[in-house]
Each structure stands twice: as C-alpha cells, then as structure tokens.
Amino acid sequence: MKRNIKLVLIILSIGIFSSCKNGSSEAKLDGAWELRHVKGIQVANADPNFPKGNGNILKFNAGKLEHYAEGKLLTTEEYTLKEEKKKINDTEAQYTLVFKNNNPEKHIALTDGKLILFDGEIAADGTESTYEKL
C-alpha cells in the first residue's frame, strides 16, 4: 500500500512540475510585443528597422493572439504553445505556435526581452521578424 501511495505521489509531482513549466513559457510570451526588425524579403531602399511606437504589435494573452498594424487590429487567433526546438536561419526556435483555425504553425524564439517570429526560412523567401516586449 505504501508503495502505491509513493508511486501516485511521484506521478502527481511530475504532472505538477511539467504543468508549471508550460505555464512559465506562456507567461514569458504573454503581453504586447512591438516590431523592431524584419529580415528576409527586403524591399529596395526600405529600412528593415522599425522605431518605437510604430504600431505593429502582437498581443499574446492566455492562448489568444491579436495582431495590430499601425495601431489597428488586423486579426485575432487562438493558439496553443508547444515547446519544440528547431534550428531556423542559424537561430534556435524554442516554441511552436499551433493555431486552432488551421493557419500554418509559426516557430518563435524568446530571448532577452525579444521575440523572434519565423515565417518560413529566409532561403525560401521566408521572414524573420524581431519584436521587443512593451
């Protein structure tokens, strides 16, 4: 009987710790992020850098993503965050955004108050957008 109780406690502990880990990833992502730089698919003579206050914002909140351009809401999507490491454009993405409306998955990297959103690979006409947390 004691062995069964210990086994149940170990399984519960593993479940609690793994759910806390997912929560902390989501907590790091939650909030508003403003676009600062785009790499790939460059337009001639267009600056790939974006100043503060440009209004190109991603807002993450508990599985909901709102995308703003020039301060106006463009889209709202529901997503789940999956921990998944993948090397893209010489950077390691740690997470995948899986959208509930069947839009293509997006890979992201979170480092030092920055969010990098990968839309494909640059070599295949993809983009790499860097956002700063507001």
* Residue 117 to residue 58: CA distance in whole angstroms: 10
Residues 6+ apart with CB under 8 A from 21: 83
- pLDDT values of the chain reduced to their tens digit, one per residue, 134 residues: 444 444 333 443 444 334 444 456 777 899 999 999 999 877 778 899 999 999 999 999 999 999 999 999 999 999 999 999 999 998 999 999 999 998 899 999 998 899 999 998 887 788 999 999 99
